[in-house]
Chain A
Amino acid sequence: MRHAMSIEPTPTSIHRAADQGTTPSSPYLEIRDLWKSYGDFVALRDISLGIGKGEFVCFLGPSGCGKTTLLRAIAGLDLQTRGVIWQGGRDISILPASKRDYGIVFQSYALFPNLTIEQNIAFGLENTGRSKAEVAARVAELLETVGLSAHGKKYPAQLSGGQQQRIALARAIAISPGLLLLDEPLSALDAKVRVHLRHEIKALQRKLGVTTIMVTHDQEEALAMADRIVVMNHGVIEQVGSPTEIYRHPKTLFVADFIGETNQFPARVLPDGQVEIGHSAFCCPTDGFAAGAATTAVVRPVDIIPHGAEAHAVHSLDRPATPQNLIDAEVHVMEFLGMFWRTRLTAPRLGDRTLVADFSVNAVRRLRIETGGVIQVEIPRERLLLYPRGI
């Protein structure tokens, strides 16, 4: 489970750092004020982003949000409408693809069907002044790296999807590019292979230290692999940050909703760090909201803490609960999802709205939570997030 109980730095301080989208040292790849339109349709809107050397960055967002478009602009395959791109201290904004420095892996792999695996990998090495022996040695080394040494003489069609994927990767890194671009490299594979390859790609990237951008619409993939995630929606960057930042402190409702699950309630801001949900007040950080503001309050199912059947049974916690955020709720539905129980609760204090909460197997056993029972749960003060309504 992904929820650590420690108290995080306040969201706002992180947001400010992420706003700049820069890492401490001067970035290896820098995108400034980049726009891309197709006719009247704006696919990318004022994108600014910095990526440090050796970083593994994921572009994450729903399908059609412009991830591929941004990647292709970086690659010089689809020129941006305006905006500048710097790579390694060089302005590459209008360079043709062949003059930039990157390797790319497409979702389809785009392996040359009539060339053997070896010939595919060697394609970018030949014609570059290397001797035949050097090329052969490099190909052997790369095959070794991706663990497919036995398959060098085969044709792509004779390999499985996962193997083809690794060949495409080997071909892309053959010329030791400064930047590795991966466009949904795992989406065509089945779930098992996908998880396995995640680790392999990540390990390879660490080993080579190559700056990498991976496009994906799979949040789990992004959370598991990326050093930093760029969450995109409708052609704009919603948030940039590390996986934990993105997950625990989503800067917008969209990010909160897209990454992980959420309960959402209409809420009105009260004075003194409180909000009104349903007809009762809850404590939560209200920085930046005026009293009376209409907001959406968000809490993740995993963040809800069960306190068992008896009132005020707040033992075993290393931290006192805010009494105001404790509510009684009736368990309506319990669904066993393997690693945890997903429950649907209704609480009078929330105006009888359904509250989805995920409880560990352990907690359910210990607190004897069962369908039809009434339990007390806590919505932790700092895990109740507010967003302006209607966005």
Chain B
Amino acid sequence: MSIAIDYAPPARRLRQQASRDDLVKLGFMAVIGLYLIVALGAPLFVMLSKSLSTYRFDLSAFEFQVSDETGANWATAVTADALNKELGVVAKKDLATNSDGRLAVTKFFPQFNFRSPVHYRIRGVTDDAAFLVGSTLEKGTAWREYDSAAFRRVVLRPASSLGIENFKTYFSTPALARSIYNSVLMASISTVVTVSIAFALAYALTRSCMPLKGLFRGILTIPILVPSLLPGIALVYLFGNQGVFRDWLMGYSIYGPIGIVIGSVFFTLPHAFLIILTALSVADARHYEAAASLRASKWRTFTTVTVPGARYGLVSAAFVVFTLVITDFGLPKVIGGQYGMLAVDIYKQVIGQQNFEMGAVVSVILLVPAVLAFAVDRRMQKRQVALLSARAVPYAPKRNVRMDGFCFAFACLVSLFILGMIAMCQIAALVKFWPYDLTLTTKNFAFDLMDGGGWAAYANSIKLALLTAFFGSVIVFAGAYMVEKADGFRFGRSVFHFLAMMPMAVPGMVLGLAYIFFFNNPANPLNSIYGTMTILVVCTVTHFYTVAHLTALTALKQMDPEFESVGASLKQPFHRLFFRVTLPVCLPAILNIGIYLFVNAMTTVSAVVFLYAADTKLASVAVLNMDDAGDIAPAAAMGMMIFYTNVVAKLIHAVVSRGLLARTQAWR
């Protein structure tokens, strides 16, 4: 008979004795968790607090006393505020400053003369009031006495306070605030255009019998292999001031919205295409048979079966494209002209005006749409998975000459667009002066003669890409393994997973700026990596962490969860199982992570543009800088070097994968 006790007895929770494996795993997880906190959480937090920090000279916080010429008798103490009210030397609006602000105290003493025997005393009214004497920082309420010569070198430091002043300033500066509208507009238009084209292409590839599908797939993924600057450069050559097809624009300029949209479509197309292709590929043939048996028209089948089936894919693709466009920096930098975009604003504020607080404000604003898009996308992904797990019968299209011909023509058109852009850059890189002097030359590849870093930058990029691919794969896979396979520490694991998902929502520019704030602080013990290759690797691994993490997680989830249990029951340490089984089985996924990180490290501009130093210039940044300096042909040439490198890397990856698979995956 069942015992009718319906409550658990008072809980005296048991704790399992930790095995050595558990401790090792815990240690690993702590290390990688710490990595993510240092490389992501802490920098973002510092940036957020920067955006809320305002700096202002607080004149009422300083008091002065002046002696007579003997230096023995002192006048009564008076605050700087009182002196300023009397003299009006500093206007109220000039009291607002940034973290670097300095205000010379001699301003408040019209009779000041550095040769005078008069002595001055200064002290803070509060403990935080700070001032500099030369470069020595003084603080506190004790009086300090200086002769005139020394007093000349005393400057006040601003007080910082938390508040939304910076945001108020931002929104009351029309040129800046307008960027929000511009960015959203560009991202929206690009999203609609890209997703439409991508859907048509994916539809053609999955629902028609057109020839050369493999080739088209290959061509459509080309834009992933080049920096987003490159379509900008191609557009300059095609439609810019000297462009051959300039007249096509009927007087409109390519520099601005038109260029941004065309370029964005180019570099986001592969992402949208691959997502929608996956969504359409899992379509269930049974639905089509049902539709056919109901004698539904083509159009009705399309609107009631195809589109809803791909719905989550479409939404997901739309958010990915939107995020990519709104956070991209390279393209609008090259082709945007005077058209303000958020990502470029960050660059201008930080690099151009050294206004770090305002850069942080724009970053926070840029985080909003990115985080929103990310959150919605995650929800969609979850539902997509539910859709996928239903056992579907794959759909096999039937021949239809008119439809196939139409699809083929459309795919050719899009391929022409992609190849045309690449070809334009290739030609520009190889001729003397497009379009006037078409003699072939290699002078555009003489990077060492231009600003930007020369061939050393190219070498640096390869080094960065290799290091990122290697260390990134190791860190990402180890991290994913801990999330998926360690038992217990549930809280730690979910925090870890959350941190791993975050980089997806953090635009590169924001990450780069956050790194400046965090690492370029002398008080930070990690300050020494600032300006080295290490910080570039750390930043790039972090920037592209999420997709790699998800890839690793997917591979690990496909493994039987009981492997670990079997290993433990056979009294084998977890690392033995890891190296004998987990790693070999996941090797293809790890190689995919490696190549993904490599390609992205080669092409990325946004995060690293804030972090490179004189001896760690990068090829992608060189493209940017040469373009900035007007050396557009060499910029195109460097962009093509990146493209070649990625193509070669992809080929090597394919060969290595195949070779390794043949050797280690005989069981498949």
A interface residues (Cβ-Cβ under 8 A, vs B)? 35, 37, 42, 45-46, 75-77, 79-82, 93-100, 102-104, 106, 108, 110, 112-115, 123-124, 127-128, 155-158, 171-172, 174-175, 177, 233-234, 236, 238, 251-252, 254, 391
Q: Are A97 and B569 in contact (CB under 8 A)?
A: yes
The 8 Å CB contact of A81, one of B13, B18, B560, B565, is B13
**Which one of B471-479, B531-539, B579-587, B642-650 is at the interface?**
B579-587
The 8 Å CB contact of B14, one of A82, A96, A128, A171, is A82
Q: Are B13 and A46 in contact (CB under 8 A)?
A: no
When distances are taken between beta carbons in the complex, the residues of chain A under 8 Å from B297 are: none
When distances are taken between beta carbons in the complex, the residues of chain A under 8 Å from B580 are: 112, 115, 123
Distance, CA A234 to CA B3, complexed state (A): 11
Q: Are B5 and A46 in contact (CB under 8 A)?
A: yes
Nearest Cβ distance between residue B488 and chain A, in whole angstroms? 9
Distance, CA A104 to CA B564, complexed state (A): 12
B interface residues (Cβ-Cβ under 8 A, vs A)? 1-3, 5, 8-9, 11-19, 21-22, 560, 562-563, 565-573, 576, 580-581, 584-585, 664-668
Q: Are B568 and A45 in contact (CB under 8 A)?
A: no
When distances are taken between beta carbons in the complex, the residues of chain B under 8 Å from A175 are: 570-571
Q: Are B1 and A45 in contact (CB under 8 A)?
A: no
When distances are taken between beta carbons in the complex, the residues of chain A under 8 Å from B572 are: 98, 123-124, 127
Distance, CA A357 to CA B563, complexed state (A): 48
Q: Are A96 and B560 in contact (CB under 8 A)?
A: no
Q: Are A80 and B3 in contact (CB under 8 A)?
A: no
When distances are taken between beta carbons in the complex, the residues of chain B under 8 Å from A80 are: 14
Distance, CA A79 to CA B565, complexed state (A): 13
Residue of B nearest to A128 (CB): B571
Nearest Cβ distance between residue A64 and chain B, in whole angstroms? 15
When distances are taken between beta carbons in the complex, the residues of chain B under 8 Å from A391 are: 1-2
Q: Are A81 and B11 in contact (CB under 8 A)?
A: yes
Nearest Cβ distance between residue B531 and chain A, in whole angstroms? 44
Nearest Cβ distance between residue A126 and chain B, in whole angstroms? 8
Q: Are B1 and A251 in contact (CB under 8 A)?
A: yes
Q: Are A77 and B568 in contact (CB under 8 A)?
A: yes
Q: Are B562 and A110 in contact (CB under 8 A)?
A: yes
Distance, CA A177 to CA B563, complexed state (A): 18
Q: Are A94 and B21 in contact (CB under 8 A)?
A: no
Nearest Cβ distance between residue B288 and chain A, in whole angstroms? 32
Distance, CA A100 to CA B571, complexed state (A): 9
When distances are taken between beta carbons in the complex, the residues of chain A under 8 Å from B560 are: 106, 108, 110
Q: Are A106 and B8 in contact (CB under 8 A)?
A: no
Q: Are A82 and B18 in contact (CB under 8 A)?
A: no
Nearest Cβ distance between residue B332 and chain A, in whole angstroms? 48
12 A-B interface contacts by CB (under 8 A): A46-B3, A76-B16, A82-B12, A96-B18, A96-B568, A99-B17, A99-B19, A104-B566, A110-B560, A114-B584, A114-B667, A391-B2
Q: Are B9 and A79 in contact (CB under 8 A)?
A: no
Q: Are A75 and B569 in contact (CB under 8 A)?
A: yes
Nearest Cβ distance between residue A138 and chain B, in whole angstroms? 13
When distances are taken between beta carbons in the complex, the residues of chain B under 8 Å from A98 are: 19, 21, 568-569, 571-573
When distances are taken between beta carbons in the complex, the residues of chain B under 8 Å from A233 are: 2
Q: Are B581 and A114 in contact (CB under 8 A)?
A: yes
**Sample of 7 more A-B contacts, CB < 8 Å, known A115-B580, A234-B2, A236-B2:** A79-B14, A95-B17, A97-B568, A114-B584, A124-B569, A128-B571, A174-B570
Nearest Cβ distance between residue B590 and chain A, in whole angstroms? 14
In this complex, the member of A104, A112, A156 whose beta carbon has the largest number of chain B beta carbons within 10 angstroms is: A112
Q: Are A106 and B16 in contact (CB under 8 A)?
A: no
The 8 Å CB contact of A110, one of B1, B3, B565, B668, is B565
Nearest Cβ distance between residue B394 and chain A, in whole angstroms? 22
Q: Are A104 and B569 in contact (CB under 8 A)?
A: yes
Residue of A nearest to B10 (CB): A82
Distance, CA A113 to CA B588, complexed state (A): 14
Distance, CA A4 to CA B657, complexed state (A): 66
Distance, CA A233 to CA B5, complexed state (A): 14
When distances are taken between beta carbons in the complex, the residues of chain B under 8 Å from A177 are: 569
Nearest Cβ distance between residue A155 and chain B, in whole angstroms? 4
Q: Are A94 and B667 in contact (CB under 8 A)?
A: no
Q: Are A35 and B569 in contact (CB under 8 A)?
A: no
The 8 Å CB contact of A172, one of B15, B16, B569, is B569
When distances are taken between beta carbons in the complex, the residues of chain A under 8 Å from B21 are: 96, 98
The 8 Å CB contact of B565, one of A97, A113, A124, A156, is A97
Distance, CA A190 to CA B15, complexed state (A): 40
When distances are taken between beta carbons in the complex, the residues of chain A under 8 Å from B22 are: 96
When distances are taken between beta carbons in the complex, the residues of chain A under 8 Å from B17 are: 94-96, 99
Residue of A nearest to B581 (CB): A112
The 8 Å CB contact of A238, one of B2, B11, B569, is B2
Q: Are B667 and A113 in contact (CB under 8 A)?
A: yes
Nearest Cβ distance between residue A146 and chain B, in whole angstroms? 17
State whether A75 and B565 are in contact (beta carbons under 8 Å apart), knowing that A81-B8, A82-B12, A110-B560 are contacts in the complex: yes
In this complex, the member of A75, A114, A115, A172 whose beta carbon has the largest number of chain B beta carbons within 10 angstroms is: A114
In this complex, the member of A110, A233, A254 whose beta carbon has the largest number of chain B beta carbons within 10 angstroms is: A110
In this complex, the member of B569, B576, B581 whose beta carbon has the largest number of chain A beta carbons within 10 angstroms is: B569
When distances are taken between beta carbons in the complex, the residues of chain B under 8 Å from A174 are: 570
The 8 Å CB contact of A114, one of B1, B566, B664, is B664
The 8 Å CB contact of B667, one of A35, A127, A156, is A156
Nearest Cβ distance between residue B407 and chain A, in whole angstroms? 38
State whether A82 and B565 are in contact (beta carbons under 8 Å apart), knowing that A37-B8, A96-B22, A127-B576 are contacts in the complex: no
Residue of B nearest to A41 (CB): B8
Residue of A nearest to B586 (CB): A114
Distance, CA A273 to CA B143, complexed state (A): 108
When distances are taken between beta carbons in the complex, the residues of chain A under 8 Å from B573 are: 98
In this complex, the member of B3, B15, B570, B572 whose beta carbon has the largest number of chain A beta carbons within 10 angstroms is: B570
Give me the 7 closest cross-chain CB pairs, A-B, nearest first.
A124-B570, A96-B19, A155-B667, A97-B568, A110-B562, A106-B562, A98-B568
The 8 Å CB contact of B563, one of A96, A103, A112, is A112
Nearest Cβ distance between residue B50 and chain A, in whole angstroms? 41
The 8 Å CB contact of A155, one of B2, B11, B666, is B666
When distances are taken between beta carbons in the complex, the residues of chain B under 8 Å from A113 are: 585, 667
Distance, CA A35 to CA B581, complexed state (A): 34
Nearest Cβ distance between residue A87 and chain B, in whole angstroms? 13
Nearest Cβ distance between residue A180 and chain B, in whole angstroms? 10
When distances are taken between beta carbons in the complex, the residues of chain A under 8 Å from B576 are: 127
When distances are taken between beta carbons in the complex, the residues of chain B under 8 Å from A81 are: 8, 11, 13-14
The 8 Å CB contact of A94, one of B14, B566, B570, B664, is B14
Q: Are B19 and A114 in contact (CB under 8 A)?
A: no
Distance, CA A96 to CA B14, complexed state (A): 12
Distance, CA A369 to CA B493, complexed state (A): 68
The 8 Å CB contact of A35, one of B8, B566, B567, B664, is B8
When distances are taken between beta carbons in the complex, the residues of chain B under 8 Å from A171 are: 566, 570
State whether A104 and B565 are in contact (beta carbons under 8 Å apart), knowing that A35-B8, A123-B572 are contacts in the complex: yes
When distances are taken between beta carbons in the complex, the residues of chain B under 8 Å from A155 are: 666-667
